[in-house]
Copies of this chain bind each other. A is one copy, B any other.
């Protein structure tokens, strides 16, 4: 049950923002073994004055008004899986809606499996069903 927060500047189209959310969700489906309906994503929009980053990071220019910050809260996973996830997110965002890789910033927060609650997951007395045990 990942919880995804997407932060970008005001001024994009709803289609652009939906494509960002879709691309991130698809990347999680492809690399960290979640199920399609396990989707909880929010998009937050900022005035330029409230969105702070350096014009260059590690010598690479970042285009401020098109930057996308992403925070993923997920169950703990091996480092390799997280690397695959990052790579896929960046690839997907480059394809649609077309975000430069230089403009992506991703941070992951890992939590324990029991740190989530959604009604649909409680299907027996233990609060966890077989499907929940297999996925995130």
Contact = CB atoms under 8 A, between A and B. Distances in A.
Interface of A: 1, 3, 7, 14, 17-18, 21, 25, 36-46, 49-54, 56-60, 69, 71, 73, 79, 82-83, 86, 89-90, 101-102, 104-112, 114-121, 123, 127, 129, 131-132
Given A43-B46, A59-B120, 18 more contacts: A37-B56, A39-B53, A40-B53, A41-B53, A43-B51, A58-B120, A58-B132, A60-B119, A60-B120, A82-B114, A83-B114, A90-B117, A104-B118, A108-B111, A108-B115, A109-B115, A110-B111, A110-B115
A107 B74 CA distance: 10
Contacts of A46: 42-43
Contacts of A123: 58
A109 B108 contact: no
Copies of this protein in the complex: 3
For the complex of A and B, the 9 pairs showing the least CB-CB separation, nearest first, are A58-B120, A60-B120, A37-B54, A86-B117, A43-B50, A41-B52, A106-B117, A108-B115, A14-B49
